[in-house]
Structure 1
Amino acid sequence: MALRGALTLQRAVAAGRLNRAEESYAYLRHARELADRIGEGRNDHNTEFGPTNVSLHEVSVAVDLGDAGLALRAAQAIDISGLSPERQARFGIDLAKAHAQRRQVDDAVSTLEKVLHAAPELFHTKPTVKQLVTDLQAMSPQPPEQLQALARELGLPEE
């Protein structure tokens, strides 16, 4: 069941990246049903499949589909304290993207600072982080110092 759930999540992500929202959300609902049957997250066959993993994917898919409101609402219900630093950072990147989609620059910057602290190697190597910082700079008439510090951290020009 965990393998089926993990594969269903991958289908949700793929459908989201193809902008097939209804299909993607249907896969997420099915994955949620499977996760609820399994109960708390387990690691059967290294899937880390369970309710928390489904919630993380809900946020990611909503961001991919440009549904920042749904992503931010879903994120509020997730307790990331038990996740690895890398998974916390990946979640943080998705959350920062959602804030950026809503033009909530300060919230996006604050979230990226947490990503930098949790997993500096991921922060420095993910192209999406550099693009996100660049986008935040572009949408800020006077970028806050915290954003400029993130840009310097990434070796980007300051705006």
Structure 2
Amino acid sequence: MEQAEQAAKSAAAVMAPRAKTPACPPEELSLLGAMNLVLAVINAKEGHRGRTHEHIDRAREIAARLGEDRNDFDTEFGPTNVEIHTVSTAVELGDAGLALEVAKEVDPSGLSPERQSRFLLDVARAHAQRRHVGEATAALLPAEALARLGVQPKYASRGQ
């Protein structure tokens, strides 16, 4: 985790000054936003609530500046992915209420099956934290189906 955090911090530090300029390309903004999401996840896993929210807020500002979901360098960065990470980090920090509140407003259908599946797993985890067994199960079933979609092309490319 320390190495991932150091790499993300270093990348963000290099990109941040360029991102302040109006002419900053959207691809660079996407990378900077993605680095902030990585840092948010790391801080959530370490239990640093304040730092987690700082990175989510920075990513949200960058996503608002982009104004759309993009997939530069396979980051899937944009407003939707920021909110998905808001759900994920809230669950990691034990804030199921926030996670479920934010999740209600998220439509992940424009993102990859992998990202949609991860989102549903986080929704299921939030419901489990609240002991909502039925709702957790209801989120797991489509997550499993989406996860299979994300894996099938990999097997097909190997000739299996």
Which range, TM-score by smaller chain?
Answer: 0.7 to 0.9
Question: Is 1:66 matched up with 2:94?
Answer: yes
2: CA distance between counterparts of 1:23 and 1:17?
11
Quote the residue 2:103 is aligned against: 75
Match of 1:136 in 2: none
**Dislocated runs of 4+, deviation >3 Å:** 120-123
CA distance in 2, matches of 1:120, 1:46: 19
Q: Deviations over 1:94-136 (max 9, x none)?
A: 000000000000000111111122223889xxxxxxxxxxxxx
Q: Which residue of 2 aligns with 1:46?
A: 74
Q: Within 1, Cα distance between the matches of 2:50 and 2:101?
A: 18
Evaluate the alpha carbon distance shift between residue 122 and residue 94 of structure 1 in structure 2; reply closer, same or farther with a 3 A threshold: farther
RMSD, aligned α-carbons:
1.6
CA distance in 2, matches of 1:48, 1:55: 12
Aligned AA (1:27): H
**What corresponds to 1:34 in structure 2?**
62
TM-score normalised per structure 1 = 0.73
Unaligned runs of 5+ in 2: 1-28, 152-160
Unaligned runs of 5+ in 1: 124-159
Matching residue of 1:10: 38
Q: State the 1:48 CA deviation.
A: 1.5
* Whole-angstrom CA distance in 2 between matches of 1:113 and 1:48: 23
Q: Give 1:46 shift.
A: 2.5
- The answer to whether residue 127 in structure 2 is matched with residue 114 in structure 1 is no
Pairing 1:19–2:59 present: no
C-alpha displacement of 1:44: 2.1
State the identity as a percent.
50
Change (3 A) 1:41 1:98: same
For 2:38 and 2:63, the matched residues in 1 are separated by 14
